[in-house]
Amino acid sequence: MTLASTIETEIVEYLYTAEKEKREVVKVTDHYPNLSFSDAYSIQQKLIERHLQDGSRCIGYKLGLTSKAKQQMMGVHEAIYGYLTDDMLSLEWEPLEYKQFIHPKAEPEIAFLIDEDLKGTNLTAEDVLRVTKYVAPAIEIIDSRYLNFKFTLTDVIADNCSSAKFLMGSKWMSPSRLDLGNLGVFMSKNGEVVQVGASAAVLGHPATSVAWAVNKLGEVNKGIKKGEIILSGAISEAISFKPGDTIHVQFSDLGSVAFSCK
């Protein structure tokens, strides 16, 4: 049974208002415990449409739960996806204002810049690499609207996978010049290394993660388009930050990306 349209609209406005007002709310499943993944993606889609009405523009997708260890911990067998909009993109040289968030966290990612449309349900990492013009170092800022950052999987899908902001470094490279599945990553806060990881943590290879997204989108007759940005998934655990903090992520061979918070 699909979710009644009145309930769906109510949930969309609930999450939209929480994001706009920068305030925590109790998770949706506290009120609707039987919410399905299908319901959650439908809510996510309508939430994005609500932002598009405000003038935002979709520029790509982000992946979540791309770690096999995290999937096992959550009791699921696949990743999740959300949307990126143009107003989520921030610039390295402009400090992020903390007041625009609720309880933000930063995580290191590899961004894919897509040069051809790609659509289907049986595509591979090789297909993704073929249409990728560049990859770049990236940081995603996640900021769940839910109280104390606590939620179920359906809750986080509905909330557009906690999307808030993202930044990309200035070094963009062809994936053919990199051992993309084996890049080391160090994330520092205020000069102290706080997370270490490797790109293989993202479903074995970041391009495999992007291929999963294309195939999942293909199930609902969607795909990724030329010019879009895909955040392939967190390489390490996310870390929280506060005003005055600086976060720096260094990739082996792929350069770095950083931001400060005020």
Which residues lie closer than 8 Å to 33 by C-beta, 6 or more apart?
Answer: none
191 inside domain: no
The count of structural domains within the chain is 1
259 inside domain: no
CATH of the domain at 89: 3.90.850.10
Domain of 130 in residue numbering reads as: 5-181+199-241
List alpha helices for the chain, DSSP H.
5-21, 37-53, 68-74, 125-131, 153-158, 206-218
pLDDT tens, per residue, the chain with 262 residues = 467 889 999 999 999 999 999 999 999 999 999 999 999 999 999 999 999 999 999 999 999 988 776 666 666 678 899 999 999 999 998 999 999 999 999 999 999 999 999 999 999 999 999 999 999 999 999 999 999 999 899 999 999 999 999 999 999 999 999 999 999 999 999 999 999 999 999 999 999 999 999 999 999 999 999 999 999 999 999 999 999 999 999 999 999 999 999 9
Q: Return the bridge partners of 107, or none.
A: 140
- Residue keyed to tokens 């959650």: 40
248 inside domain: no
101 inside domain: yes
Give the pLDDT score at 71.
Answer: 63
192 inside domain: no
255 inside domain: no
Q: Return the bridge partners of 109, or none.
A: 138
pTM above 0.85, yes or no: yes
Give the pLDDT score at 166.
Answer: 98
119 inside domain: yes
74 inside domain: yes
Residue 235: closest CA among 188, 197, 208: 197
Give the pLDDT score at 73.
Answer: 62
Residue 47: closest CA among 24, 17, 87, 21: 17
- Whole-number Å distance between alpha carbons of 198 and 201: 6
